[in-house]
Amino acid sequence: MVESNFTTKAAYLSHFNPQTYLEKYYTFGPNPSAENQILMHILRKLFKTFSSGRVKGDLLIDIGTGPTIYQLLSACESFKEIVVSDYTDQNLEELKRWLKKDLKAFDWSPVVKYVCELEGDGEKWAEKEESLRQKVKHILKCDVTQNQPLGPVSLPQADCLLTALCLDAACKDLPTYQQALKNLSSLLKPGGFLVFIDALKSSYYMIGDQRFFSLSLTQEAVKDAVVKAGYTIQEFEVISQSYSKTRANNEGLFYLVGQKLNNSVGLQS
Ligand code: SAH
C-alpha cells in the first residue's frame, strides 16, 4: 500500500468541508440513495441496541463525531451525559451551530423524524432534538492516535464509547488502527460497551471532488483488532449496502457491539 495516499491531520483541517460532507452523505432525497439506505440501516441498528436497555448509563463518549448527530439520537435516551469529539475544528464548529440552533446549522429534522418513528412517535422530533442538545455536555478536540485521545481532560470513564466512520479515516495502517482501539479503551469503564461502525474494504471516500484516505479492512481484521484491544464481541453484523460508486469503493459496512473485559488492562500494550 502506498502510504502517501494517507490523508494527514493537517489535510483534514484544511480540506474537510463539513457542509459538503453533510449534503453528500446525510441529505434525504425523494428517492432513497445508497447513502440514505446506509444511514437508515445504521439508525435501525442503533435503535435496537439502545432500546434494548442493555447499553445505558451516566456517560457516553462519541469519538470522531464529525459534523453529525444522527448516531446520538437513539443513544441519548439511555445516557445522562454525552461528550462529542473530533480532530477537525470546523466539524466541532458545525456541531456547535446545531447545538445552538444557529440558523445556518444543518437541518437534521428528517433524520430525527425517522428515528422518532422507529421509537414509536414521529411527532416527538422537536422534543428529541431538545433533549439531545441538553445532554451534550462537552465538545472536545480528539486524536485517536494519541495515548490519551481526548488530551489531559478529567472525565470519568464512560459507560459507552461510540465511534462511527472515524477509525478507517484516522489510521494509516493496521498497527495504528489496533493501537487506536487500545487508546480509546482507556476512556471506557471495564464492563462498558463499545458501539463501533465503519466501512469494510474501502480505500478512499469522496467529499465533492476531494478524495480522503480510508484504511481498507476485512471483517476478520476488524474483529481481531477489537478482541486484541480487550473486548468481547457481542454483536457483529455486516450491512451489505455499499456507498454510491462515485463516493467510495467499500464493500458494505459493519456494525459491532463489544464489551470491555474487566481485566483488559493487562491486554493493553
Ligand atoms: N462520525 C461521523 C464523521 C465521520 S468522517 C459520521 O458518522 O459521519 C471521519 C471523521 O474522522 C472526520 O470528522 C475527521 O475529522 C475525523 N478524524 C480524522 N482523523 C482523526 C483523528 N486522528 N482523531 C480523531 N478524529 C479524526
Rounded average pLDDT over 112-131:
97
Ligand 1 close to Cβ of residue 196 (< 6 A)? no
Per-residue pLDDT at 264: 58
For 126-141, letters b (16+ CB in 10 Å) and e give eebbeebeebbeebbe
CB 49 within 8 A of CB 18: no
Question: Mind listing the domains of the chain with CATH numbers?
Answer: 3-262 (3.40.50.150)
User: Which of the four pLDDT bands, split at 50, 70 and 90, describes residue 194?
Assistant: very high
User: Which of the four pLDDT bands, split at 50, 70 and 90, describes residue 30?
Assistant: confident
pLDDT at 4 over 90: no
Ligand 1 close to Cβ of residue 68 (< 6 A)? yes
Distance (Å) from CA 45 to ligand 1 centroid = 20
Which residue, judged by its Cα, is nearest atom 16 of ligand 1?
Answer: 64
> Which atom belonging to ligand 1 lies closest to the Cα atom of 143?
23
pLDDT at 268 over 50: no
Q: How far apart are CA 150 and CA 249, in angstroms?
A: 31
pLDDT at 2 over 80: no
Which residue, judged by its Cα, is nearest atom 21 of ligand 1?
Answer: 143
Query: Across the strands, what pairs with 230?
Result: none
Per-residue pLDDT at 263: 72
Rounded average pLDDT over 253-258:
98
Distance (Å) from CA 16 to ligand 1 centroid = 10
Query: Ligand 1 pocket test: which of 85, 86, 108, 139 has the largest number of ligand atoms within 8 Å of its C-beta?
Result: 86
Which residue, judged by its Cα, is nearest atom 1 of ligand 1?
Answer: 65
Residue with cell 456507498: 243
Of the CA atoms within 13 Å of residue 168, those in its CB half-sphere come to 27
Distance (Å) from CA 123 to ligand 1 centroid = 31
Distance (Å) from CA 120 to ligand 1 centroid = 31
Q: How far apart are CA 188 and CA 174, in angstroms?
A: 22
Which residue, judged by its Cα, is nearest atom 19 of ligand 1?
Answer: 170
Q: Would you state the cell numbers that stand for residue 215, as one nine-digit string?
A: 484504511
- Look up the pTM and report it: 0.96
**By mean pLDDT, which of 45-49, 84-88, 99-103, 265-269 is the weakest?**
265-269
User: Which of the four pLDDT bands, split at 50, 70 and 90, describes residue 185?
Assistant: very high
Q: What is the 3-state secondary structure (H, E, C) of the chain?
A: CCHHHCCCHHHHHHHCCHHHHHHHHHCCCCCCCHHHHHHHHHHHHHHHHHHCCCCCEEEEEEECCCCCCHHHCCHHHCEEEEEEEECCHHHHHHHHHHHCCCCCCCCCHHHHHHHHHHCCCHHHHHHHHHHHHHHEEEEEECCCCCCCCCCCCCCCCEEEEEEECCHHHHCCCHHHHHHHHHHHHCCEEEEEEEEEEEECCCCEEEECCEEEECCCCCHHHHHHHHHHCCEEEEEEEEECCCCCCCCECCCCEEEEEEEECCCHHHHCC
Q: How far apart are CA 177 and CA 170, in angstroms?
A: 8
Which residue, judged by its Cα, is nearest atom 11 of ligand 1?
Answer: 166
> Which atom belonging to ligand 1 lies closest to the Cα atom of 66?
13
Per-residue pLDDT at 235: 98
